[in-house]
Copies of this chain bind each other. A is one copy, B any other.
Amino acid sequence: MRARRLATPPRRPRARRGEGELLRGQILAAAERLLMETGDEEAVSIRAVADAVGVTPPAIYLHFADKRELILEVCAASFAELDRVSEEAAAGSSDPVESLRLRGRAYVQFGIDHPEQYRVLFMRRPAATPDDFDADRVRTAACFDHLVDAVRACISAGALPKGADPFVVAVELWALVHGITSLLISKPDFPWPARDALVDDLLDACVRGLATGT
């Protein structure tokens, strides 16, 4: 999809001296807003962001080295947000398995609410440059670690076998909720069963199955 250009983009008044950093925040906000509104990473071009802020394209380069850096920063914010809503939801119950359910639901809900961010975070081709990879890995791990902790809590509570590897179980649960989330995003017209029930049923079945495993 190509971006539509405004005939006369409204011009933002130039920042006063010492307030140049204001633009940086506005660029990030505009980039995220474009991602939400267009639902298309391709539409978030340097020119489109500049238009949205009311500034000329070269002004972007006063605050970001290149396009990669801009997108990366937007992703970092989304990662933080996903981690935040997951933690918040998980705090909704003191029962570790119920907490895991809530966490799973929140994860899927984040994907539904921010499909293009989710796509960039988890469904994109891995970046070509090592720099991107490092940043990606660190952030994935940060978010993932909380899930591993949640699995440990289930093991401690006896809902999962004492001998279970928390990391492996976390990977399995991640794959599970990611599978639901990404399919909902990619195939919105498929006749899906009720979403929350799907998440709950599958998580429950998995936890039960792992609990009774060989």
Contact = CB atoms under 8 A, between A and B. Distances in A.
Interface of A: 1, 39-40, 119, 122-126, 128, 133, 136-137, 140, 167-168, 171-172, 174-180, 182-183, 186-190, 192-193, 198, 201-202, 204-210, 212-213
Most buried by B among A126, A167, A205: A205
A212 B208 contact: yes
Which applies to chain A's interface (DSSP): helix, strand, loop or mixed? helix
B188 A175 contact: no
14 contacts: A40-B125, A122-B183, A122-B187, A123-B123, A126-B188, A140-B190, A168-B193, A175-B176, A176-B202, A178-B182, A178-B183, A204-B209, A208-B209, A208-B212
A172 B198 contact: yes
B206 A213 contact: no
Given A177-B179, A189-B137, A1 B205 contact: no
A128, A137, A202: most-surrounded residue (chain B CB, <10 A)? A202
Contacts of A178: 179, 182-183
Nearest to A1: B128
A126 B212 contact: no
A188 B140 CA distance: 13
Given A168-B201, A178-B182, 20 more contacts: A39-B125, A122-B187, A123-B123, A126-B188, A133-B189, A171-B198, A172-B205, A175-B202, A176-B176, A176-B202, A178-B183, A179-B179, A182-B182, A202-B206, A204-B209, A205-B213, A206-B209, A208-B209, A208-B213, A209-B212
A83 B39 CA distance: 30
Contacts of A210: 205, 209
A180 B182 contact: no
Nearest to A182: B182
